[in-house]
Structure 1
Amino acid sequence: MGMQFSVLASGSTGNAFYIETEQHRLLVDAGLSGKQLEQLFAQIDRDLRELTAILVTHEHSDHIKGLGVIARKYQLPIYANEKTWKAMEGLIGDIPTEQKFIFPLGTVRSFGDLEVESFGVSHDAAEPMFFVFHHEGKKLALITDTGYVSDRMKGIIKNADVFIFESNHDVEMLRMGRYPWNVKRRILSDVGHVSNEEAGLALADVIGDRTKRIYLAHLSQDNNIKELARMTVAQTLENRGLAVGEQFALYDTDPKIATKLVYV
């Protein structure tokens, strides 16, 4: 079967990512209502009842909004690091002890035929972490919600077959936009979000010979446009000698429409 995935929803209003192998079906984050998540699963012809587990990146509401609801409804195990579990107290309701699991930062956990590697990012949460998925020699890297992409992060995600990569905002749109200055400063900071140009520069350092697909994720609804993000990232990559559309393809993600379920 190989490894299949879908970016179910991505953006400032809610995030959810799905990945499956022959043995396991995982959801990363549940930042939408239970009803919305059920609808997104229907878009890719899948069912929440078939999930093996939910992995949590951090405690911000756009990543855990529906977590407690679906975990209780479908009796799903949740994996998060200790600091994230503590930060989620009071935000997701009571979770039975038998559904709570610790996934420490900087470790690899096996889900049967799927190896999941966690790594830290720079974001204003308790202990935010994202994941690299390994299956039968294939590698998928998921990274959003970081103020910058360090050399350490680049080393972990380098030469993935697929990248789901943050391209949160256009800097000028953000500077000229309606947000109060303290919010703008947070987004632009080292614990905020990566801009379109920063995404392109970071991707130029990690794209390898095996890279075939890049999905631009977590776009701000107020401070970005899909076409602008794609154009800026593509231009930045081409300036670094990378042929977008030839070596690899660049894809959009959406806050309400799941990407097509595809093989890595």
Structure 2
Amino acid sequence: MTLHFSVLASGSTGNAIYVETEEHSFLVDSGLSGKQMDALFQQIDRRMDKLSGILVTHEHSDHIKGLGVIARKYKLPVYANEKTWRAMDGLIGEVPVEQKFTFGMETVKSFGSLDIETFGVSHDAAEPMFYVFHCGGKKLVLITDTGYVSDRMKGIISNADTYVFESNHDVQMLRMGRYPWNVKRRILGDFGHVSNEDAAIAMSEVVGDNTKRIYLAHLSQDNNIKDLARMSVAQTLESKGLIAGEQFSLYDTDPKVPTALTAV
């Protein structure tokens, strides 16, 4: 079995990731409108009505904006932990009870040859969690929306073949930018988002011999730039003895343009 994925959209305006095997396909978050999501699926030549389900990371609007509409339209199963389900109440409209499934923290669900593992992150949501996909000996890790990467997280996500890893902001851009101080403090805090440098330090402690691709995700539209994120991450990794372009490659993600559907 082969694991393929596309980062459909990533950034502060909306997030969605598509993951498939030959047997099953999942959407992780749906933080754009139903119409926008349809257009993104068309760009990777896939259809939402063929999905096996939607996996939810947390209840912030840039991750669930289109969730209710899409789930109802295509009658899709939706998976989230109990606290996230409660937090989404009133935000996504009514989802029929037969489409609502609980996926607990630090558990594994199997769908044929695909095992999906959950792990907690540090973010200002009810119970935010992200996902590790295991299939055919390959490992895909999705980790964004966390203020820091704990040793526990590192143990779960270590030595993946592919990472979609948060690289949210440049600290200087954020400090000098237009955001009010309370917002800056939230982003910089333990329940906010990791900076380019902090992301790279965490990456340096989890990449392994299997690691071939790292996608820099959830870049702030106001406090980061793709080239700056890539340069900062590469420089920090190099200072730790890891050379991007040799052991592994760094890739951009975009708020509006999907990455190519790629094998893990």
Instruction: Please classify the TM superposition score into its range, dividing by the shorter chain length.
Output: over 0.9
Distance, in Å, in 2 between the alignment partners of 1:185 and 1:243 is: 32
Shift of 1:111: 1.4
Gaps of 5+ in 2: none
Number of equivalent positions: 264
Shift of 1:112: 1.5
The yes-or-no answer on 1:63 pairing with 2:84 is no
CA-to-aligned-CA distance 1:36-70 (integer Å, 9 cap, x gap): 00000011000101100000000000000000000
In structure 2, what is the equivalent of residue 22 of structure 1? 22
Equivalent positions of 1:184-223 (< 5 A) are: 184-223=184-223
Query: In terms of mean alpha carbon deviation, does 220-229 or 107-116 score higher?
Result: 107-116
In structure 1, what is the equivalent of residue 127 of structure 2? 127
Amino acid at match of 1:162: T
Shift of 1:243: 1.4
Distance, in Å, in 1 between the alignment partners of 2:112 and 2:124 is: 32
The percentage of aligned residue pairs carrying the same residue is 75
Equivalent positions of 1:90-101 (< 5 A) are: 90-101=90-101
Runs ≥4 in structure 1, deviation > 3 angstroms? none
Distance, in Å, in 2 between the alignment partners of 1:43 and 1:67 is: 19
Shift of 1:113: 1.4
Distance, in Å, in 2 between the alignment partners of 1:17 and 1:73 is: 19
Distance, in Å, in 2 between the alignment partners of 1:233 and 1:166 is: 11
In structure 2, what is the equivalent of residue 149 of structure 1? 149
Distance, in Å, in 1 between the alignment partners of 2:158 and 2:209 is: 10
Distance, in Å, in 2 between the alignment partners of 1:2 and 1:77 is: 23
Shift of 1:223: 0.3
Equivalent positions of 1:169-180 (< 5 A) are: 169-180=169-180
CA-to-aligned-CA distance 1:138-163 (integer Å, 9 cap, x gap): 00000000000000000000000000
3-state SS of the aligned residue for 2:200? helix
CA-to-aligned-CA distance 1:100-159 (integer Å, 9 cap, x gap): 000000100011111000000000000000010000110000000000000000000000
Amino acid at match of 2:188: L
Distance, in Å, in 2 between the alignment partners of 1:230 and 1:51 is: 32
Equivalent positions of 1:1-264 (< 5 A) are: 1-264=1-264
Gaps of 5+ in 1: none
